[in-house]
Amino acid sequence: MNTLAEAPPPEARSEKDIIAGLQEKISASRLSLFLQCRLKFYFRYVLRLPKPKTPSLHLGSAVHTVLKTWNKARWLQQPLSLKAVHQTYLKAWADTTEGPVQWEPGEEEADKTTGWRLCDTYLRESHVPADLKPDAVEVPVEADLTSHGLPRLIGVLDLVQQRQIIDYKTASSTPNPDKAAHSNEIQTSSYSELYRHNTGAIETGVQLHHLVKLKNPKVVITTLPPMRPPQQTRLFKQMEAYLDGLQRQHFVPSPGMQCLSCEFFNECRRWH
């Protein structure tokens, strides 16, 4: 009988148990969200309030799937034709296993076209040479940071090539390199930490590949140097704040401009 990778039926867990689990494992997205708004973190990761998938998240997932498949195929020296890439995209677009997407009327077809044009642009412009062998493609990794008094760090690296960590992002506007480096620092530092723990080597750098959803799609690559000691210190201090906040259960709202697009806006307004 095959028992591998078969998830047990979901069981209801108490908040206490869930918070204990969140104290044991941390990811860049959890940490970023916690620092952005503790109440939003609470709704998403502790209460786990179900919300429909946003169109931009769906588009991003489909693009990620295409790039993962393309990178994997060239790694195995079985490069995909454009037709095969397109079929992969269509299949990824039709995949709703993560739940339904909340589309506005007429929005789905337009987004579907945009997503494909992003993939097409990225591959045509050869931002990653097809004959360059990856070190890893969408690999899940973790690092035990208990020696620093911190939890286990988990994450998925989109692409590692020549010891450079590459992360794909879809964006609606052209990113500013300095701002992109700052706003993604938790993620890039986390990935550097994960890479070092799992390979015993220091990364040559990190690249953010932004696929920008413009009328004429474009790719913006932000190249960052290896993580510096002050960045690692910042990351560890942020993790300490995360652990401390979870311990105290201070899940308070952080009202601001970012709330306009928050899926928990209504729940937040009712909080007291």
Partner 1 sequence: MAIKLSANYSKKLGLPQYSSHSFSASVEIELTDISQVQAEVQQLYALLQHAVDQEIQHPGFMPASNGNSPGNGRAQPQHNGNGTHGGYTPQPAADRWNCTEGQRGFILRILNENQIEKQEAEDLSQQLFGTGVKQLNKMQASQLIEDLLVKAGKPATRQTRWRPQPTTSQAA
- Residue 207, phi then psi, degrees to nearest 5: -120, 135
Binding partner 1 (rule: CB under 8 A), the pick from 35, 123, 145, 154 is 154
Characterize the bridge pairing of strands 25-27 and 152-161. Answer: parallel
Of 86-94, 122-130, 227-235, 240-248, the segment contacting partner 1 by CB under 8 A is 227-235
Residue 20 tokens read as 């204990």
- The C-alpha atoms of residue 96 and residue 92 are separated, in whole angstroms, by 9
As given in the structure block, the two tokens for residue 135 are 């070190």
Q: Which of 86, 148, 196, 234 binds partner 1 (CB under 8 A)?
A: 196
What is the contact mask toward partner 1 in residues 100 to 119, using x (rule: CB under 8 A)? --------------------
Residue 43 touching partner 1 (CB under 8 A): yes
Residue 197 touching partner 1 (CB under 8 A): yes
Query: Letter for the amino acid at 166?
Result: I
Which residues within the stretch 3-22 sit at the binding site for partner 1 (CB under 8 A)? 3-7, 10-15, 18
Question: How many chain residues interact with partner 1 (CB under 8 A)?
Answer: 51
**Which helix or strand (DSSP H or E) is residue 228 part of?**
none
Nearest to 106 by CA among 55, 152, 141: 55
Q: Does 271 bind partner 1 (CB under 8 A)?
A: yes
Within 126-260, residue ranges assigned H as helices are 177-183, 185-199, 229-248
- The amino acid that residue 233 corresponds to is T
- 153 - beta bridge partners? 26, 143
Residue from 62, 136, 150, 206 in contact with partner 1 (CB under 8 A): 136
Q: Which stretch binds partner 1 (CB under 8 A): 106-114, 156-164, 203-211, 254-262?
A: 156-164
Site residues (vs partner 1, CB under 8 A):
2-7, 10-15, 18, 27, 43, 45-49, 75-76, 97-98, 135-141, 154, 156-157, 160, 195-202, 228-230, 232, 267, 270-272
